[in-house]
Amino acid sequence: MSVFVPAEQLRERIHTGKNQTIIAALWEPEEGKAWSKFQSEHIPTAKFCDPSAVLSGLPGRRVGRNPLPHLDVVVKAVRSWGVDKSRPTFIYDTGSGLFAARAWWLLRWLGIDDVFIVDGGFRAWDAAGLETIAGPGNLSVAAHVEPSPGALPVATLEDVKEFTGLLIDARGARRYSGRREIFDLKAGHIPGALNLPATDLFSAETGEVVSAAEIRERAATVGLTVDSDPAGAIAYSGSGNHSALLLAALAHAGLPVVTHFVGGWSQWAGDAANPVATDL
């Protein structure tokens, strides 16, 4: 299986009784609303994940808006969901892919390899007319997972300052250029970074990933190929979500999962001493 799998493929696994773990990484701006939506309708056997509580740590100017969570927090959650290295894990969100990709990257970073994203998320599942259930979700049998943090490469702010290789900004073109910024303290991008918007690799209508060939073609425009050294490139976004989505798309197309600067632009822009580039 590639990283992104069709909703029908997961439905077939559930229908035929195959073993897997399903995680619903759902976020809503209104507190408690995501949990309420999950309780009213979700994919059978799914476990609920609150991205703001589990997939990121406490925000701050020095660490960015969505820093890495404390290791104990995410490991406890992973075990409570029943994630086991002996069976695949499937993750879905409402359809943007952002929170599913964040969870995918974190699990891969922890050394869990068989992790997949439902292509198009719950929107695709619902559009296909596939069955859902209500309630708090299945009871989980806690699994003992021995994490291996660092299984995927991570860059610190200092690493980025000293980096001379390929730096990829996964945000939209307007934010990259400095024409629009509503989340962070400054507008623009890290000097030397090239723009490869993660959302350009997904259908605007369905949220589903484009073909592997198209992803490789777009990646080649910034100099990233199947032969690239993962340590020779760093990807970032505003706070690690769009860059996680980009990394998932690259892996889906057989490209290397490059180093991730999770703090991203929010951490870089939080220090007034850091230089800013724009296309204005």
Domains and CATH numbers, the chain: 4-128 (3.40.250.10), 154-270 (3.40.250.10)
Higher-confidence residue of 143 and 20: namely 20
pLDDT score of 180: 92
pLDDT at 137 over 90: no
pLDDT at 83 over 70: yes
pLDDT at 204 over 70: yes
Other C-beta atoms closer than 10 Å to the C-beta of 91 total 26
pLDDT score of 144: 77
pLDDT score of 142: 67
Cβ atoms of residues 24 and 42 within 8 Å: yes
pLDDT score of 186: 93
pTM: 0.96
pLDDT score of 147: 85
pLDDT at 202 over 80: yes
- What's the whole-number average pLDDT of the chain? 95
Instruction: Summarize pLDDT for 100-114 with one digit per residue, the tens.
Output: 999 999 999 999 999
pLDDT score of 145: 81
Q: How far apart are the first and last CA of the chain?
A: 43
pLDDT at 213 over 70: yes
pLDDT at 43 over 80: yes
